[in-house]
Amino acid sequence: MDNKVANLINEQINKELYSAYLYLDFANYYAAVGLDGFENWYRIQAQEERDHAMLFYQYLQNNSEPVVFASVDKPDWTRGDNMTPLIKGLEHEKYVTSLINTIYAAAYEARDFRTMQVLDWFVKEQGEEEKNASDLITKMELFGSDAKGLYMLNSELKARVYAAPSLVL
């Protein structure tokens, strides 16, 4: 595999694990304020990010590329109100989309069609991630300022169940 592409994918493992760590801290925040549905939503979100890390890990393994783990950064956000993680979450997903696009551009440059095919799934996934994050902000804006509305929204988010990624390597 092209060196630059392999290095970027290796770095992406760390970025996905960081995403999991960030979202686990969002879950941690919501647990502390008693919003167990929001906690559930972000716990599942963290699990999905670990899945993404494992997919990149497996992809490098499948291609006999070395995997080198770096330290995972401390979650970079400051607690505010119940909207803060949602805003930070959307911002973070947009950043991850830019990372995926950078890897895609490198794979395209290297004519690495195999990697491009794997990344196609991630491009689509990022579209969904941004939409989910953005929808959550909209719902919070609409219903979150009233106690009953917040209760209903929390109940809705509590019903989310984990689903394994549809990409199989």
Bind-site residues for Fe cation: 16, 49, 52, 93, 126
43 lines the binding site for Fe ion (CB under 5 A):
no
Binder of Fe ion out of 129, 136, 140, 157 (CB under 5 A): 129
Instruction: Say if residues 97 and 126 touch (Cβ distance below 8 Å).
Output: yes
Comparing C-alpha atoms, which of 124, 132, 53 is closest to residue 90?
Answer: 132
Stretch that binds Fe ion, among 24-32, 66-74, 98-106, 128-136 (CB under 5 A): 128-136
**How big, in percent rounded to 5, are the helix, strand and coil portions of the chain?**
75, 0, 25
Nearest-angstrom CA–CA distance, 85 and 64: 38
- Binding-site residues: 16, 49, 52, 93, 126
> CB-wise, 93 or 112, nearer to Fe ion?
93
* Cβ count within 10 A of residue 104: 20
Of 12-31, binders to Fe ion (CB under 5 A) are: 16
- Least distance CB 21 / Fe ion (angstroms): 12
Binding mask 55-74 vs Fe ion (x if CB under 5 A, - otherwise)?
Answer: --------------------
Nearest-angstrom CA–CA distance, 51 and 105: 23
Q: Return residues touching Fe ion (CB under 5 A).
A: 16, 49, 52, 129
